[in-house]
Amino acid sequence: MIDCLERHLSRFAIPGLIRYVVALNALVFILVRLIPEYAQVLALDPAAILHGEVWRLVSWIFLPQTPSLFWILFYLLFTWWLGDLLEESWGAFRLNAYYFLGMALCIASALLFGASGGNLFLNLSLFLAVATLAPNLEILLLFVLPVKIKWVALFSLIFPAGILLLGPLAEKMVVVMCLGNYLLFFAPAYFRGALESQRVRGRRTRFEAAKLPADESLHRCTVCGATEHSNPDADFRVAADGREYCTSHLPGREEQGA
Protein backbone atom coordinates (compact mmCIF):
# COMPACT_ATOMS: atom_id res chain seq x y z
CA MET A 1 0.00 0.00 0.00
CA ILE A 2 2.75 2.44 0.94
CA ASP A 3 4.43 1.78 -2.43
CA CYS A 4 1.23 2.71 -4.26
CA LEU A 5 0.84 5.89 -2.21
CA GLU A 6 4.46 6.81 -2.83
CA ARG A 7 4.04 6.49 -6.61
CA HIS A 8 1.09 8.87 -6.61
CA LEU A 9 1.90 11.27 -3.76
CA SER A 10 5.69 11.43 -3.51
CA ARG A 11 5.72 14.94 -5.03
CA PHE A 12 3.96 16.23 -1.90
CA ALA A 13 6.65 14.93 0.48
CA ILE A 14 8.65 17.47 2.50
CA PRO A 15 12.39 16.79 2.19
CA GLY A 16 14.21 17.31 5.48
CA LEU A 17 10.94 17.27 7.46
CA ILE A 18 12.57 16.41 10.79
CA ARG A 19 15.09 19.23 10.33
CA TYR A 20 12.21 21.71 10.13
CA VAL A 21 10.65 20.16 13.23
CA VAL A 22 13.96 20.46 15.08
CA ALA A 23 14.41 24.09 14.02
CA LEU A 24 10.92 25.02 15.25
CA ASN A 25 11.55 23.11 18.48
CA ALA A 26 14.60 25.31 19.04
CA LEU A 27 12.57 28.46 18.32
CA VAL A 28 9.76 27.44 20.67
CA PHE A 29 12.29 26.56 23.37
CA ILE A 30 13.60 30.12 23.25
CA LEU A 31 10.07 31.56 23.30
CA VAL A 32 9.05 29.40 26.26
CA ARG A 33 12.19 30.39 28.16
CA LEU A 34 11.24 34.04 27.64
CA ILE A 35 7.48 33.61 28.17
CA PRO A 36 6.71 30.33 30.03
CA GLU A 37 2.94 30.78 29.56
CA TYR A 38 3.47 30.39 25.83
CA ALA A 39 3.70 26.61 26.28
CA GLN A 40 0.06 26.44 27.35
CA VAL A 41 -1.02 28.09 24.11
CA LEU A 42 0.69 25.40 22.03
CA ALA A 43 -0.10 22.26 24.03
CA LEU A 44 -2.31 19.48 22.67
CA ASP A 45 -5.45 20.36 24.62
CA PRO A 46 -8.56 18.51 23.32
CA ALA A 47 -10.99 20.92 24.96
CA ALA A 48 -9.25 23.95 23.46
CA ILE A 49 -9.15 22.31 20.04
CA LEU A 50 -12.90 21.68 20.19
CA HIS A 51 -13.33 25.37 21.01
CA GLY A 52 -11.62 26.43 17.80
CA GLU A 53 -7.91 26.57 18.71
CA VAL A 54 -7.03 24.34 15.78
CA TRP A 55 -3.38 25.39 15.63
CA ARG A 56 -2.82 23.07 18.58
CA LEU A 57 -3.23 20.13 16.19
CA VAL A 58 0.26 20.95 14.91
CA SER A 59 1.92 23.28 17.43
CA TRP A 60 2.29 20.61 20.14
CA ILE A 61 5.05 18.82 18.22
CA PHE A 62 7.27 21.90 18.63
CA LEU A 63 7.08 22.03 22.41
CA PRO A 64 10.45 21.32 24.06
CA GLN A 65 10.73 18.18 26.14
CA THR A 66 13.06 19.69 28.71
CA PRO A 67 13.75 23.13 30.23
CA SER A 68 17.48 22.36 30.34
CA LEU A 69 19.65 24.10 27.75
CA PHE A 70 22.13 21.21 27.76
CA TRP A 71 19.49 18.52 27.26
CA ILE A 72 17.58 20.48 24.65
CA LEU A 73 20.76 20.70 22.56
CA PHE A 74 21.28 16.96 22.92
CA TYR A 75 17.61 16.27 22.14
CA LEU A 76 17.58 18.47 19.04
CA LEU A 77 20.84 17.10 17.64
CA PHE A 78 19.78 13.52 18.32
CA THR A 79 16.35 14.02 16.71
CA TRP A 80 18.01 15.67 13.68
CA TRP A 81 20.32 12.65 13.39
CA LEU A 82 17.42 10.19 13.62
CA GLY A 83 15.49 12.04 10.94
CA ASP A 84 18.46 12.08 8.57
CA LEU A 85 19.05 8.35 9.06
CA LEU A 86 15.42 7.49 8.38
CA GLU A 87 15.18 9.76 5.34
CA GLU A 88 18.36 8.27 3.92
CA SER A 89 16.98 4.77 4.43
CA TRP A 90 13.33 5.32 3.47
CA GLY A 91 13.25 8.44 1.39
CA ALA A 92 11.32 11.63 2.14
CA PHE A 93 7.85 10.26 1.40
CA ARG A 94 7.99 7.28 3.75
CA LEU A 95 9.45 9.36 6.55
CA ASN A 96 6.70 11.94 6.03
CA ALA A 97 4.05 9.21 6.08
CA TYR A 98 5.53 7.67 9.23
CA TYR A 99 5.78 10.95 11.11
CA PHE A 100 2.40 12.36 10.09
CA LEU A 101 0.72 9.04 10.89
CA GLY A 102 2.29 9.18 14.35
CA MET A 103 1.05 12.74 14.77
CA ALA A 104 -2.49 11.79 13.71
CA LEU A 105 -2.60 8.85 16.12
CA CYS A 106 -1.31 10.97 19.03
CA ILE A 107 -3.99 13.58 18.28
CA ALA A 108 -6.65 10.86 18.08
CA SER A 109 -5.58 9.45 21.45
CA ALA A 110 -5.91 12.91 22.99
CA LEU A 111 -9.38 13.45 21.52
CA LEU A 112 -10.62 9.97 22.44
CA PHE A 113 -9.04 9.52 25.86
CA GLY A 114 -8.25 13.06 26.96
CA ALA A 115 -4.52 12.36 27.06
CA SER A 116 -1.67 11.82 24.67
CA GLY A 117 1.90 10.62 24.76
CA GLY A 118 2.75 13.78 22.86
CA ASN A 119 6.32 14.29 21.70
CA LEU A 120 7.56 11.54 24.02
CA PHE A 121 6.01 8.71 22.05
CA LEU A 122 6.23 10.43 18.68
CA ASN A 123 9.99 10.83 19.03
CA LEU A 124 10.27 7.37 20.56
CA SER A 125 8.70 5.98 17.38
CA LEU A 126 11.51 7.62 15.35
CA PHE A 127 14.11 6.06 17.61
CA LEU A 128 12.49 2.61 17.45
CA ALA A 129 12.35 2.80 13.65
CA VAL A 130 16.10 3.48 13.44
CA ALA A 131 16.83 0.72 15.98
CA THR A 132 14.77 -1.72 13.92
CA LEU A 133 16.37 -0.81 10.61
CA ALA A 134 19.94 -0.73 11.99
CA PRO A 135 19.94 -2.69 15.28
CA ASN A 136 23.73 -3.03 15.46
CA LEU A 137 24.45 0.64 14.89
CA GLU A 138 26.57 1.92 17.77
CA ILE A 139 25.90 5.19 19.59
CA LEU A 140 27.87 6.85 22.37
CA LEU A 141 25.81 6.58 25.52
CA LEU A 142 26.39 9.73 27.60
CA PHE A 143 28.95 10.66 24.90
CA VAL A 144 31.37 8.07 26.31
CA LEU A 145 30.16 4.47 26.24
CA PRO A 146 29.63 2.83 22.81
CA VAL A 147 26.52 0.67 22.85
CA LYS A 148 24.39 -0.89 20.14
CA ILE A 149 21.23 1.05 19.50
CA LYS A 150 19.02 -2.03 19.85
CA TRP A 151 19.88 -2.31 23.56
CA VAL A 152 19.06 1.35 24.16
CA ALA A 153 15.78 0.84 22.30
CA LEU A 154 14.86 -2.11 24.50
CA PHE A 155 15.64 -0.05 27.60
CA SER A 156 13.50 2.81 26.29
CA LEU A 157 10.53 0.44 26.09
CA ILE A 158 10.48 -0.13 29.85
CA PHE A 159 8.22 2.87 30.50
CA PRO A 160 5.56 2.10 27.85
CA ALA A 161 5.73 -1.60 28.76
CA GLY A 162 5.04 -0.70 32.39
CA ILE A 163 1.97 1.27 31.32
CA LEU A 164 0.74 -1.63 29.20
CA LEU A 165 1.16 -4.03 32.12
CA LEU A 166 -0.01 -1.91 35.04
CA GLY A 167 -1.77 1.18 33.70
CA PRO A 168 -5.52 1.69 33.31
CA LEU A 169 -7.15 0.83 30.00
CA ALA A 170 -7.21 4.43 28.77
CA GLU A 171 -3.45 4.83 29.28
CA LYS A 172 -2.82 1.49 27.60
CA MET A 173 -4.77 2.64 24.58
CA VAL A 174 -2.80 5.89 24.50
CA VAL A 175 0.48 3.93 24.35
CA VAL A 176 -0.79 1.64 21.61
CA MET A 177 -2.16 4.52 19.54
CA CYS A 178 0.82 6.82 19.99
CA LEU A 179 3.19 4.05 18.87
CA GLY A 180 0.73 2.92 16.22
CA ASN A 181 2.83 4.27 13.37
CA TYR A 182 5.68 1.95 14.41
CA LEU A 183 3.29 -1.00 14.74
CA LEU A 184 1.69 -0.36 11.36
CA PHE A 185 5.03 0.02 9.58
CA PHE A 186 6.94 -2.84 11.21
CA ALA A 187 4.44 -5.37 12.62
CA PRO A 188 3.61 -6.87 9.17
CA ALA A 189 7.31 -7.59 8.56
CA TYR A 190 7.62 -9.17 12.02
CA PHE A 191 4.53 -11.26 11.30
CA ARG A 192 5.83 -12.42 7.92
CA GLY A 193 9.19 -13.26 9.45
CA ALA A 194 7.55 -15.30 12.20
CA LEU A 195 5.44 -17.22 9.67
CA GLU A 196 8.47 -17.90 7.50
CA SER A 197 10.47 -19.11 10.53
CA GLN A 198 7.60 -21.41 11.45
CA ARG A 199 7.47 -22.82 7.92
CA VAL A 200 11.25 -23.36 7.93
CA ARG A 201 11.04 -25.17 11.28
CA GLY A 202 8.20 -27.32 9.93
CA ARG A 203 10.18 -28.26 6.84
CA ARG A 204 13.25 -29.05 8.94
CA THR A 205 11.17 -31.21 11.30
CA ARG A 206 9.65 -33.16 8.42
CA PHE A 207 13.08 -33.59 6.84
CA GLU A 208 14.60 -34.86 10.07
CA ALA A 209 11.68 -37.22 10.60
CA ALA A 210 12.08 -38.60 7.09
CA LYS A 211 15.78 -39.37 7.56
CA LEU A 212 16.57 -42.94 8.52
CA PRO A 213 18.64 -43.56 11.65
CA ALA A 214 22.24 -44.47 10.94
CA ASP A 215 21.73 -48.05 12.13
CA GLU A 216 18.51 -48.68 10.19
CA SER A 217 18.86 -50.63 6.95
CA LEU A 218 16.99 -50.40 3.70
CA HIS A 219 17.61 -54.05 2.78
CA ARG A 220 17.40 -57.23 4.89
CA CYS A 221 17.50 -60.83 3.76
CA THR A 222 14.50 -62.82 4.97
CA VAL A 223 16.62 -66.00 5.39
CA CYS A 224 19.95 -64.95 6.88
CA GLY A 225 19.14 -61.42 8.08
CA ALA A 226 22.04 -59.89 6.16
CA THR A 227 21.80 -56.13 5.49
CA GLU A 228 23.73 -53.64 3.40
CA HIS A 229 25.52 -52.68 6.64
CA SER A 230 26.56 -56.20 7.64
CA ASN A 231 27.33 -57.28 4.06
CA PRO A 232 28.19 -54.21 1.98
CA ASP A 233 29.00 -56.33 -1.08
CA ALA A 234 25.74 -58.29 -1.07
CA ASP A 235 22.99 -57.74 -3.62
CA PHE A 236 19.34 -57.91 -2.60
CA ARG A 237 16.28 -58.85 -4.64
CA VAL A 238 12.57 -58.99 -4.00
CA ALA A 239 11.19 -62.42 -4.91
CA ALA A 240 7.79 -63.34 -6.30
CA ASP A 241 6.50 -63.89 -2.74
CA GLY A 242 7.08 -60.16 -2.00
CA ARG A 243 9.94 -60.78 0.43
CA GLU A 244 13.50 -59.53 0.12
CA TYR A 245 16.45 -61.90 -0.10
CA CYS A 246 20.15 -61.65 -0.62
CA THR A 247 21.23 -63.24 -3.90
CA SER A 248 22.66 -66.23 -2.02
CA HIS A 249 19.25 -67.15 -0.59
CA LEU A 250 17.01 -65.97 -3.42
CA PRO A 251 14.27 -68.62 -3.96
CA GLY A 252 15.05 -70.72 -7.04
CA ARG A 253 18.75 -69.97 -6.79
CA GLU A 254 19.19 -72.60 -4.08
CA GLU A 255 17.26 -75.13 -6.16
CA GLN A 256 19.46 -74.33 -9.14
CA GLY A 257 22.51 -74.81 -6.96
CA ALA A 258 21.16 -78.16 -5.77
Q: Please state the domain extents for the chain.
A: 2-189, 217-258
252 compared with 22, residue with greater pLDDT: 22
Q: Who has greater pLDDT, 9 or 181?
A: 181
Residue pair 5/97 in contact (Cβ under 8 Å)? The answer is yes
Q: Across all residues in the chain, what is the average pLDDT?
A: 84
d(Cα 47, Cα 221) in Å, to the nearest integer? Answer: 89
In the chain, % of residues over pLDDT 70:
92
Q: What is the pLDDT of residue 213?
A: 56
pLDDT at residue 7, rounded to an integer: 78
What is the tens place of the pLDDT at every residue in 20-65? Answer: 999 999 999 999 989 988 888 888 888 888 888 999 999 899 988 7
* DSSP helix/strand/coil, 137: coil
Contact status, residue 172 vs residue 161, Cβ threshold 8 Å: no
- Reported as a pLDDT band with limits 50, 70 and 90, residue 257 is very low
Is pTM, for the whole model, over 0.85? no
Distance separating alpha carbons of residues 127 and 187, to the nearest angstrom:
16
pLDDT tens digits along 107-156: 988 888 876 666 788 889 999 999 999 989 888 776 677 889 899 899 99
- Which is more confident, 172 or 217? 172
Span of 89-93, 99-103, 222-226 with lowest mean pLDDT: 222-226
Mean pLDDT of 66-93: 90
Angstrom distance (rounded) from CA 186 to CA 183: 5
Contacts of 67 (CB under 8 A, 6+ apart): 32, 33
